């Protein structure tokens, strides 16, 4: 059977197997960022600002930006950086290591010192991705004692705190339980925009779940902003507040136990989302429903998304959630009218 993606509708690609199976799909589980919400002007900018602020607190200087919002895509493509707080921590660590190697804390010069951010992110991916992979990759560039000194200056909690303040602003206490001591006024979360509307979700013959790295407060804020309150059953929301994190498939198992689908689709925009669905398929029992993965383009990996999903052999690939829902609805309608 041909398992290569082919265009089956406007903005939608599917393997032959997925095109056959999707007719019985009755639940779609979404990632949030880059799938339901356009976060291009929130989280990537938050990461950039948090890293710059942290480095300057550590005595770094210069006019250059340490990591631009566009450069965060390198880490999303590497895998293991589903948490934007972890991504900020990783980018800061790269600069701390570079500063130790160069004997300088001048950001403009350090940007041009190897490894650049793209190379460091790829190296992290080769060592398993995420902060652990990045630490392993960077440890080969520096003496053990020097690396330990760098890590002592690597205040991950401070980086997380800065990122949360830049994101939530004066709502940081309500959303994250921290006061906005450094960032005043509105947070960058107000720049987010929905990628799908309530009517498009409700008119499709489907039920929905959400598996995201956001905490419950972040989710509630986004759903209110997007006008999607009440679309998701509370029991089908899996967030960081549940202490379940991708790429663990437990979030998908929890949702399918609640909704009891015949077949579910997990729609995500990055490598961690794909790994989540792949692990679910590898670990599910005979009585568990199958799961198709749909890679949604235009999310956190940016222009790297298309090749990223092609290389992983995804079941479905869509330019938008609307394209996915429209195609699934049409396929299901074909069955009911046959």
φ, ψ for residue 30 (rounded to 5)?
A: -110, 145
Quick one: 157 exposed, middle or buried, by C-beta within 10 A (0-12, 13-18, 19+)?
exposed
Question: 178 and 164 in contact (C-beta within 8 Å)?
Answer: yes
Question: 45 and 188 in contact (C-beta within 8 Å)?
Answer: yes
What per-residue confidence (pLDDT) applies to 145?
Answer: 96
DSSP 41: T
* Coil, strand or helix at 196: coil
Q: Does the predicted model carry a pTM greater than 0.85?
A: yes
What count of other Cβ atoms lies within 10 Å of the Cβ of residue 188?
20
Mean residue pLDDT of the chain comes to 93
**Quick one: tokens of 261?**
């689908």
DSSP 7: E
Question: 42 and 236 in contact (C-beta within 8 Å)?
Answer: no
What per-residue confidence (pLDDT) applies to 332?
Answer: 84
Domains in the chain (CATH in brackets) are 6-39+192-337 (3.40.50.1000), 43-189 (no CATH)
Q: Which residues of the chain have pLDDT under 70?
A: 1-3, 335-338
What per-residue confidence (pLDDT) applies to 310?
Answer: 87
The β-bridge relationship of strands 207-211 and 27-30 is parallel
**DSSP character string of 260-310:** --SSEEEEESSHHHHHHHHHHHHH--TTSPPEEEEEETTSTTGGGHHHHHH
Work out the end-to-end distance of the chain between its first and last CA atoms, rounded to an integer number of angstroms: 24
**Quick one: tokens of 20?**
């056959």
What per-residue confidence (pLDDT) applies to 299?
Answer: 77
Query: Which candidate, 223, 181, 231, 230, places its Cα nearest to that of 204?
Result: 231
What per-residue confidence (pLDDT) applies to 2?
Answer: 46
Element containing residue 193 per DSSP (H, E): strand 193-194
What per-residue confidence (pLDDT) applies to 83?
Answer: 93
* CA 172/CA 212 separation, integer angstroms: 19
What per-residue confidence (pLDDT) applies to 149?
Answer: 95
* Coil, strand or helix at 208: strand
């Amino acid at each position: 059977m041909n398992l290569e993606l082919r265009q089956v509708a406007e903005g939608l690609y599917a393997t032959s197997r997925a095109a056959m199976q999707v007719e019985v799909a009755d639940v779609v589980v979404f990632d949030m960022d880059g799938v339901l919400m356009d976060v291009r002007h929130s989280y990537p900018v938050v990461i950039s600002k948090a890293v710059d602020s942290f480095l300057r607190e550590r005595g770094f200087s210069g006019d250059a930006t340490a990591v631009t919002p566009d450069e965060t895509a390198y880490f999303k493509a590497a895998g293991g950086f589903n948490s934007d707080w972890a991504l900020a921590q990783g980018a800061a660590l790269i600069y701390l290591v570079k500063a130790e190697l160069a004997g300088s804390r001048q950001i403009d010069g350090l940007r041009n010192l190897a490894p650049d951010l793209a190379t460091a992110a790829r190296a992290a991916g080769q060592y398993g991705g995420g902060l652990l992979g990045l630490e392993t990759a960077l440890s080969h560039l520096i003496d053990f004692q020097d690396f330990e000194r760098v890590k002592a200056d690597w205040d991950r909690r401070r980086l997380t705190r800065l990122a949360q303040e830049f994101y939530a602003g004066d709502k940081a206490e309500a959303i994250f339980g921290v006061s906005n001591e450094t960032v005043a006024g509105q947070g960058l979360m107000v720049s987010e925009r929905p990628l799908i509307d309530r009517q498009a979700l409700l008119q499709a013959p489907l039920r929905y779940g959400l598996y995201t790295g956001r905490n419950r407060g972040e989710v509630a804020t986004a759903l209110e902003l997007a006008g999607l309150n009440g679309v998701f059953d509370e029991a089908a929301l899996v967030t960081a507040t549940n202490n379940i994190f991708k790429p663990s498939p437990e979030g998908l198992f929890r949702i399918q136990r609640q909704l009891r689908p015949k077949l579910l689709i997990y729609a995500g925009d990055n490598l961690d989302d794909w790994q989540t669905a792949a692990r679910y398929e590898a670990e599910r029992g005979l009585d568990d429903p199958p799961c198709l993965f749909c890679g949604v383009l235009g999310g956190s990996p940016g222009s790297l998304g298309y090749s990223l999903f092609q290389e992983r052999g995804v079941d479905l690939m869509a330019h938008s959630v609307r394209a996915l829902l429209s195609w699934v609805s049409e396929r299901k309608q074909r069955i009911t009218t046959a």
